[in-house]
Amino acid sequence: MTVRDHNRHDIGKATLAPNDTAGPSPRAAFSRRPCALLLLCAAMLVGLTGCSSEDLPTFAMPARGVTDQAPRILSLWQGAWIAALAVGAITWTLILWPTIFHRRRRGDTGLPPQTRYNVPIEVLYTIIPIVMVCVFFFFTARDEDRILQTSATPDHQITVTGEQWSWQFTYASDGGDAATVTGTPAKPPTLMLPQGESVKFTLVSDDVIHSFWVPAFLFKLDVIPGQHNTFQVTPKKLGTYAGKCAELCGQDHSRMLFNVKVVSPDQYSSYIASLKAGNAP
């Protein structure tokens, strides 16, 4: 046997030795416990998404809403929070698991087995964020289109004008003069709405950008000079609710307040009639 053949024979023995100390393969490096935790997080996410919006917390929303659009908005908000919590749980699991259970032990010398490439994991880390963004975009775009849909023949139409620094509400009427209420920073105006009847809002501004926000609606929309933004809601619950400007618009921005009062249709008609007659408070 030549020296070259002898070396080949020794290399073969080293390759086939049962006590080979080479590092584990990438697949063997994964523990079953992290996978189980990830599956548990996924199961919790599926369980939460199966609950109705009424069974879930509002996640800092001011209320469950008083309009027909509020349940859809709340559901989208809750879904975004559940997805964010699931992503956070999985991310922290992937960070803390190797930190705690695969740290260097006392007396260990040298480095742990190193893996240069793991194509399946790298592909997975690329695909998952893309899928997440696509899912978020789909639900957001779908709900936004439905929330901003307006009818050609709503029951009532109100023009909201933002000005420095208060609000003006103009109640349109078919075949008659419009009724207008104008507030001041010292005397916030009241917006009257009829319960159970659709109201289309047209938002305009005389000066700078404002934002029409009624927290109980779970909705706000910018009021932009030269642009008419519209939305439509049907109030469902009687009561008085606070409104404000959600866009930093100037010196008295914090005083740009108003009230929303949802009343019965008969009370609403009486109010509009008295407003036109000049007898409304």
DSSP string, the chain: --HHHHHHHHHHHHHH-TT--PPPPTTTTS-HHHHHHHHHHHHHHHHHHTS-GGGS--TT-S-S-SBTTHHHHHHHHHHHHHHHHHHHHHHHHHHHHHHHHSSPPTT--SPPPP-S--HHHHHHHHHHHHHHHHHHHHHHHHHHHHHT---SS-SEEEEEEEETTEEEEEE--TTS--EEEE--SSS--EEEEETTS-EEEEEEESSS-EEEEEGGGTEEEEE-TT--EEEEE-B-S-EEEEEEE-S--STTGGG-EEEEEEE-HHHHHHHHHHHHHT---
Best CA proximity match to 219, nearest among 113, 99, 109, 65: 65
Least confident range from 59-63, 72-76, 222-226: namely 59-63
Where do the domains of the chain lie, and which CATH numbers do they carry? 31-102+117-147 (no CATH), 156-277 (2.60.40.420)
- Taking CA atoms, 29 is separated from 2, 6, 18, 33, in Å, by 40, 34, 19, 12
Ramachandran assignment for 62, one of left (phi > 0), alpha (psi -120 to 50 degrees), beta (any other)? alpha
Residue 209 · residue 224 · CB < 8 Å: yes
State both tokens at 218: 């779970």
Higher model confidence: residue 2 or residue 202?
202
> Residue 209: what pLDDT?
96
Task: Please report which confidence band the pLDDT of residue 33 belongs to, taking 50, 70 and 90 as the band edges.
Answer: low
> Residue 170: what pLDDT?
95
Tens-digit pLDDT profile for residues 86-126: 989 988 998 898 888 877 777 777 776 777 778 888 888 89
Tens-digit pLDDT profile for residues 195-244: 999 999 999 998 999 999 999 999 999 999 999 999 999 999 999 999 99
The CA-based angle 248-251-255, given to 5 degrees, is 80
Tell if the pTM clears 0.95, that is, is over it.
no
| Residue 49 φ/ψ, nearest 5 degrees | -70, -20
